[in-house]
Structures are given as C-alpha cells and as structure tokens.
Amino acid sequence: MNRIARHAAVAAAVIGLCGCAQQAKIVRPSTTQLQALKPLPVVQVISQDKLAAEDTFTYANVSFIPNPSIPIVVGAAGGALGMAIVNAEIRAEARRFAEQHVQPLRSVLEGFDAKGVLSESLRQGLGQQPASFGSYTLADATWAKQTGSGQRAVLETGYAMTPDFSALQVIATVSIFVPGSKDNKPLYRNMLVYQSPRFSVPAKTAADSKHMVVQENSRYAALHIDDEIEKANAAFNKHDPEAGRMRQKVVSEQREHRLRLKQAGEATWDPDTRAQRLCETWSAGHGEALKAAMRASGIEIAHMLQLDLAGQVPADLADQPRIVFQDDSREIKYLEDGHMISLAVSDDDASEKRSSPRVTMPLPHVGR
C-alpha cells in the first residue's frame, strides 16, 4: 500500500472515531390514536443506583494550519487525528470534573432510597390524573419492553446533577407501546425533564481571593517542593531511572500551584471552586435539598406527560419553543428540539453546555 493510500485508510478510521451518537427521535402519534389508549398503564424503569453528574463535554472546534507539503488526504488524516486527541483531552477533563464533585453528594445520599422515592413520587403524580393514566408498575427494562406486555407507557428514568452543579435534573424518556406494532416500535416517544430550583454562589470578593491565596500557599508549602527538587537532582546525578519521573512530578506541582494562584486572584470563581461551593449547599442538612427535589419530580413529570399527550400540535409547530403551563413557582415549556422541561420560574435550563473554545493546531511535515 502506498503512502497516500495508507494515510487515507488512517483518515477513514480516525474520522469514524469522531462521530457522536444521535439522540432518539421524538415520535408523535395523532390525537385520535392517543385518546384510544386512555387510561394508559405506566411502567417505570430506574436502572440507576447512584447519583450521576452530567459532564460539560462538547466537541471542540478544532482548526488546523495547513502545510503545503502535505497532500490533502494526509492532511485530513492528521487533522482528524488531532481533533480526536484534543477532544479526548477535553472529555477526560469533563469527566474528572463531574466525578470529583459528585462524589461528596453520593456520600451524603448514602442509605437514601432514591429509586423508591422517585418511584413513589411518580406514582402519586399519576394518581392525580386517573382519566389519563391507569395502573403503575416499577419494573426492569427487559420486562417493560417485551412485545407481549400490552399497551403501556414506559418511563426510563435517570437523575443527575447539571454540568455546573447548580441543579438536579430527573430525566424521563417516555415510550408508548401498543400490541401489534411493527418491530415493537413505540407509538410515541419524548423526553421529559424535571429541574430543581437552581442554587447560586455569592459573588467573589477581595477577601475570598485573599483567603484562597493563603490556603493555596499553605497547601503548596506542605508539599516541601524544595526537598523534592533536591531529591530529583541527586537522582539525576546518580543516573537513577526514577529521576525523570521525580522531575516531572515537581514540574507538575509547580504548574498546578501557579494555576491555583492565578485562579485565586481572578474576579470570578473558577469552575471547580464554584462547583465545590454549590455542592456544600446541596449537602447541607444531610442533602435535604436533593431529597426534596427527588420527591417533587414525579408529580411534575406526570404533569408534563399529561400535557404532551393532550396538547398534540401540528408537525410544523412541534419544535418551536413555547411555554405551555405556568403558575407562581414553576413553568413547563417545550425546548427547540421538542423535548419538555419543568423549571422554577425565572430559571433557565442548566443542562445547556457552552461550546468549547476554538483550538488551532499546526499540521507537521509528514515524511515517508
């Protein structure tokens, strides 16, 4: 295989890795079809056994500086590989952020029956609308989707902190199945999201910055970096193979120290400190705010489902954002993609992610 052909194969493989899964398409039946199903039996599936956190990952907008000596196909391969590397680093950092800050909340909820609370909340919400919904069952996913289970609405429910940790979201993907449907495809599908009221962090003050600097200097002093430098230099003089690792550790700690001091001096909270403070608020009273949000979620999800099934709209209006319910404390609205969300009045959707900044990378010369 010649050089260009080899690079073409690499390009195809790498570009394939860069694809992302598409979200399940919304399915909307006619109003007549829905009316024929009432009252609709409901099956809830909650496979999750611990609190999750939505990460902040979005694919980076990567651009590459072309090299005239590189053939187009080779450039495509290099560009795709570079994009994959950049996005892998962004994804790893997003996951690190999410896991680091959700762990204390999981500890606070230890021993709390989240699945039982979510199930009971939905059951109560459905019970308030007997004309629309019939029996309620909590089941596993395999049973819920069996073709012989009769007509039913299957709610696959998950719960997670939003990417910035300002709110809890309970997310229900609802599918309605009827007997005789081809390949057991749903007659209806939509995603309904309950979002708790959002918490915020007070604006950062000069006193906060000063306190952060003192804390960071204390943390760094406890590492005794000067001693580590002496050890690394001594190991280098002795040709110790560990010398490189020791120096790398010192450089990493010095870089982290400079970053933390820079963040301490900034006028706004850095994402980690902001998330930490929000999690401290969520943890207060043994996580009572989290537990209260879970108890409230099912009634709102049942309300959204009732509104969506009753208020079928023409296809050309289905994806237009609009508010369909509002009272003194909450509002329910459709998002641009047709999904529904229940929010505290004056709040916005905290799951929305900002695009990653543009990353520019040069393409190096490629030899034989």
- Strand 359-362 and strand 322-326: the pairing is unpaired
Nearest to 69 by CA among 3, 19, 22, 10: 3
Q: What is the pLDDT of residue 304?
A: 94
Q: Which residue has the tokens 């609009």?
A: 322
Q: What is the pLDDT of residue 325?
A: 93
Integer Cα distance of 122 and 126 in angstroms: 6
Integer Cα distance of 16 and 278 in angstroms: 38
3 state SS of 133: strand
Task: Say which residues have a Cβ less than 8 Å from residue 163's Cβ, sequence separation at least 6.
Answer: 53, 54, 55, 56, 98, 350, 351, 353
Nearest to 40 by CA among 174, 172, 148: 174
Is the CB of residue 142 less than 8 Å from the CB of residue 33? no
Integer Cα distance of 15 and 13 in angstroms: 6
Integer Cα distance of 244 and 237 in angstroms: 11
Nearest to 11 by CA among 79, 78, 82, 77: 77
Q: Each residue of 315-338: b (16+ CB within 10 Å) or e?
A: eeeeeeeeeeeeeeebbbbbbeeb
Nearest to 177 by CA among 150, 140, 200, 207: 150
The residues of the chain scoring below 50 in pLDDT are 1-22, 58-67, 69-78, 355-368
Distance of CA 22 to the CA centre of its chain: 15
Integer Cα distance of 190 and 29 in angstroms: 11
Task: Say which residues have a Cβ less than 8 Å from residue 257's Cβ, sequence separation at least 6.
Answer: 216, 220
Is the CB of residue 28 less than 8 Å from the CB of residue 312? yes
Integer Cα distance of 83 and 188 in angstroms: 37
Integer Cα distance of 286 and 341 in angstroms: 27
271-310 helix and 72-108 helix, angle to the nearest 10 degrees: 90
Distance of CA 140 to the CA centre of its chain: 23
Give me the amino acid identity at 45. Answer: V
Using alpha carbons, list the distances in angstroms from residue 5 to 8, 176, 256.
Answer: 5, 49, 43
Task: Say which residues have a Cβ less than 8 Å from residue 298's Cβ, sequence separation at least 6.
Answer: 118, 119, 120, 121, 122, 123, 124, 125, 126, 170
pTM equals 0.73
Is the CB of residue 345 less than 8 Å from the CB of residue 195? no
Query: Most distant CA pair in the chain: distance in Å?
Result: 84
Tokens for 24, please give them. 């399940």
